[in-house]
Structure 1
Amino acid sequence: MATRTERRVSWGIGGLGALVAVAAAYALFGVPVSSPLAAAVRSLAAVAGATVAAGAWLVATERVPVQPTLQVAAGPGALAGAALAMSGDGLPTWVQAGVGVGVAAGVLGFAVVLASVGSDNA
Structure 2
Amino acid sequence: MASNLEFERRSYIKIRTLLGIGREDILIDLEFLYGDVSLPYTTVNEWAKRFCEGLGLVEDEERIWRPRSFATNSNTSEICWKVEENPHITVEELAMSVGISTGAVHSILIDELRLGNLF
Q: So what's the TM-score if we normalise by structure 2?
A: 0.24
**Larger-gyration structure (1/2):** 2
Q: Would you tell me which structure has more helix in proportion to its own residues?
A: 1
